[in-house]
Structure 1
Amino acid sequence: MFSKKLFLLFFEKFFNEDIKHTIEVATLYVATLGFIVHLVLVFFNMADIIEVHAQVEGLLANPIAAIYTPFSFILFYEVYLLIYYLPRSFSVSIAKQYEIVSLILIRKIFKDISNLDLEDVDLFASENLTLFYDITGFLILFFLIFLFRYLLVSRKNHTVTANIEGFILYKKILCILLVPLFLFLSIYSFSHWVIELNQLSLGVVTTIRDFNNIFYHEFFLALVIVDVLILIASFRYTDRYSLLIRNTGFVVTTVLIRVSFSADGLASILLLISGVAFGVLVLYLYSLYDKIDKGESTRESYAYL
């Protein structure tokens, strides 16, 4: 009983409306400051005041590239919201995953625009096609996220009873564990990229990982593990076939998103779209099944699973 109260107290300390608002405001200030600093570095690079390696020159190529930085900080806030909503609804946390990857894609679009070669007579050059793939992929993702959100707000409401509190507590414990993991991955990923950048300037290595993939490559791997843990725990609280299949489908969609970070170009976009489309289809079929399922034994366990 004491440990339960301790976990709940710890959870409320980091996941309440006041903290969420504070982090939101802090994110806006830091994002603005980051944008200004990035913009100054861009002008320094354009004026040849500073010199950067060719592999990272795209991040300082023109003022448009500076938009990349504020989106990076906004993405960190979205990750916090994903963890924040996890105990309240597994489906909503999955929706936040989709929004995060769409923002990652938007951030990459700004990078693609800054690298766009307008002097190239061949508009269908591989460098220019990347921008086309990303823009098209984002539009499809945006539509799929709309469908997913529409299905969420259209689903049936179910009563939450006392016997589901254990599962809510279980997910809150997962959230508490995700906070230090989130901070560790953030620090580790960025510091590792800085070390690689220094090694690149010294000639120790010839290539470094794309900045667009750092942190999220590892974070979505952690999310796969969390989703599997939630899936396993859900077997204890319901025997409802459609709900178990839905949760299994959400694990699959997270895996596909994670795999997309390991691919490049069009393959990455296709994997990303496939993952989100699979999640939308699973939720749609679940909503159809929910309309015909009249089972009484599991009715009370729907809302928070």
Structure 2
Amino acid sequence: MHFLYDKINYIFDPLHHVWEHERMHRKISFALVIFFLASLVIIELNRQNLLPGQFSSFVPRNHFYAVQAAFTVVLVLEVISLIFTIPCSFSRSVGKQFEILSLILMRNAFKELTGFSEPVSFEGNSQAILNILSDGFGALLIFVLLGFYYMVQTHTQDDKMKPVDLYSFVAAKKAIALLLLLTFTFMGIQSALAAITGVEHTDFLHSFYTILILTDILVVLFSQCYQPSFYAVFRNSGYALSTLIIRLALAAPPFYNVLLGLAAALFAIFLTITSQKLFAGAHRNSSG
């Protein structure tokens, strides 16, 4: 098994290093700026009827679609970063999912602008403006709660594992992350082709979140092999439940999505405080 774990590390670690490198972040940020500007130019060309017929049919005429497209790319990048955090602690992976939820709410706020006429006006857009306020303030509140969530994190269960068990456990999570990365790439290409050809399709980011929930449960069950105590199983299961509530928030209509997102964040914070403060002694006993 150690040979297999070594091969997994051999594949995963270089990919992770390249993705998290500062030079890669700069290149991606520059490419995102170019993508946004190019989107604005293409949309403007379509507004002026300067695009060929085969392109003008699926290129929007509202400049705010460029904002939505840019935020979609940002979300894709964040989901990839989330996949690379899976081998880290369970709490860190959950925190990353709250980061993505706040960005999705922010994207939803900008997405409402695509229904506005240009120039922007209040008349006839009162419901969309309420949705923007709801999603915007919801994203802000989750961002604030995320700060509290990271603040109350003091240690991870992985720190208490034996080195041999920790090595195999992390390697197994890296294997899961690699499979997720392949799945996400396939779903992204499939969604992009559908968008280009004009085929109706759902948001693949929301569909991928369902896979993330199943992955979280898989990690919980797998971690039980190394951390069989009630404390560890309940804590990890609770974090998995918070990700399930996040998925429900993504599928919920405006206002309800914010309430569910806030409920998930508060649940994760309360779970963390309870497990680390009230059950600190039980944690030490189960780790010893």
Match of 1:202 in 2: none
CA offset digits 1:195-250 (Å, max 9, x no partner): 4xx25xxxxxxxx55xxx61211211111111011110122212332322121111
Deviation at 1:155, TM superposition (A): 4.1
Match of 2:8 in 1: 7
Match of 2:275 in 1: 286
Tell me the distance in 2 between the aligned counterparts of 1:133 and 1:45.
Answer: 32
Q: Is 1:232 aligned with 2:221?
A: yes
Q: Counterparts in 2 of 1:200-279, with a 5 A limit?
A: 208=200, 214-279=203-268
CA contact (8 A) 1:231 1:247 kept: yes
CA contact (8 A) 1:45 1:61 kept: no
CA contact (8 A) 2:109 2:133 kept: no
Deviation at 1:294, TM superposition (A): 5.9
- The sequence identity of aligned pairs, in percent, is 23
Match of 1:67 in 2: 67
CA contact (8 A) 2:102 2:139 kept: yes
Aligned residue for 1:296, secondary structure, equals helix
Deviation at 1:66, TM superposition (A): 2.6
User: Given residue 276 of structure 2, which amino acid in structure 1 is its aligned partner?
Assistant: S
User: Given residue 80 of structure 1, which amino acid in structure 2 is its aligned partner?
Assistant: I
Deviation at 1:179, TM superposition (A): 1.6
CA contact (8 A) 1:243 1:286 kept: no
Deviation at 1:271, TM superposition (A): 2.3
User: Given residue 131 of structure 1, which amino acid in structure 2 is its aligned partner?
Assistant: I
Tell me the distance in 2 between the aligned counterparts of 1:184 and 1:65.
Answer: 24
Pair 159,121 (structure 1): closer, same or farther in 2 beyond 3 Å:
same
Match of 2:94 in 1: 94
**Stretch of structure 1 that moved more, 37-46 or 166-175:** 37-46
TM-score by length of 2: 0.84
Deviation at 1:49, TM superposition (A): 4.0
User: Given residue 239 of structure 2, which amino acid in structure 1 is its aligned partner?
Assistant: F
CA contact (8 A) 2:161 2:287 kept: no
Point out 4+ residue stretches in structure 1 off by more than 6 angstroms. none
Match of 1:180 in 2: 182
Match of 1:151 in 2: 152
Match of 1:194 in 2: 196
Q: Is 1:171 aligned with 2:173?
A: yes
CA contact (8 A) 2:243 2:264 kept: yes
CA contact (8 A) 2:43 2:59 kept: no
Gaps of 5+ in 1: 200-207, 300-305
Pair 2,120 (structure 1): closer, same or farther in 2 beyond 3 Å:
closer
Deviation at 1:99, TM superposition (A): 0.6
Pair 194,256 (structure 1): closer, same or farther in 2 beyond 3 Å:
farther
Tell me the distance in 1 between the aligned counterparts of 2:128 and 2:30.
Answer: 33
User: Given residue 141 of structure 2, which amino acid in structure 1 is its aligned partner?
Assistant: I
Tell me the distance in 2 between the aligned counterparts of 1:274 and 1:89.
Answer: 22
Tell me the distance in 2 between the aligned counterparts of 1:274 and 1:48.
Answer: 47
Count of equivalent residues: 279
Tell me the distance in 2 between the aligned counterparts of 1:10 and 1:294.
Answer: 34
TM-score by length of 1: 0.80
Pair 156,6 (structure 1): closer, same or farther in 2 beyond 3 Å:
closer
User: Given residue 176 of structure 1, which amino acid in structure 2 is its aligned partner?
Assistant: L
Match of 1:37 in 2: 38
Match of 1:205 in 2: none
Deviation at 1:106, TM superposition (A): 1.6
CA contact (8 A) 1:27 1:74 kept: no
